[in-house]
Structure 1
Amino acid sequence: MKNTKKVPYGKINSVAEMGVLVRQHRKSQKVRIEDLSDLALISPRLIGEFERGKETCQIGKVLQILKFLGLEIRIVPRGTP
């Protein structure tokens, strides 16, 4: 997967922000929701809900989506640059 578009990676303050960033990353990699669904064994509906900021998505499923897109979450103290 080749990155063809600049994605604004960085601090996330909400599920909605995370969903937008993940969608931008997925699209920059030219990965369709259907293909991600097949790879991660997660329904396209759940992926779409997550990308639209649904706050009740299961954290395990979110981590699986991130893994298959080559993304990760880092936990740091608030205010860390």
Structure 2
Amino acid sequence: MEFQIDSPEKLGLLIRASRKAMSLRQDDAAGSIGVSENFLGKVERGGETVQWGKLFLVMRELGLNLSVEVPDEFSSLTERHLQSLLDKSVRDKAAAPGEDA
């Protein structure tokens, strides 16, 4: 099922509803995901200053996927630009000295 997300609050409520549908307590979910209960609570309240990486970790661990709909008239050009940016990101990471790939 697809839900329209237009705010951090709505995403947080969806995450909370999904966790509850899985019969997971907030503390148990946070522990199994590897984040603090405080962080998960902040996500579920739609906190606007959460860390992106941890937010996506929570979503992945709850089996939630996020997609963005691009208007049809821009989709082909957006796809080309995105691929170029992704390629550049991979090249930059490969060229960065002393960092793990």
Identify the TM-score tier after normalising by the shorter chain: 0.7 to 0.9
Identical-pair percentage: 31
Structure 1 Cα separation of the partners of residues 5 and 13 of structure 2: 10
Q: Which has a greater percent of helix?
A: 2
In structure 2, the gaps of 5 or more residues are 73-101
Is 1:52 aligned with 2:38?
no
Q: Please tell me the residue identity of whatever aligns with 1:32.
A: R
**Given the superposition, is the C-alpha separation of residues 78 and 15 from structure 1 closer, same or farther in structure 2, using an over 3 Å criterion?**
farther
Tell me what 2:54 maps to: 61
Equivalent residues, number: 72
RMSD of aligned alpha carbons? 1.6
Structure 2 Cα separation of the partners of residues 78 and 50 of structure 1: 28
Q: Normalising to structure 2: TM-score of the pair?
A: 0.65
Structure 2 Cα separation of the partners of residues 68 and 13 of structure 1: 22
Instruction: Select the structure of larger CA radius of gyration.
Output: 2
Q: Normalising to structure 1: TM-score of the pair?
A: 0.80
Instruction: Flag as ranges the 4+ runs of structure 1 deviating above 2 A.
Output: none
**Given the superposition, is the C-alpha separation of residues 78 and 35 from structure 1 closer, same or farther in structure 2, using an over 3 Å criterion?**
farther
Q: Please tell me the residue identity of whatever aligns with 1:28.
A: A
Tell me what 2:69 maps to: 76
Give the C-alpha shift of residue 9 in structure 1: 4.3
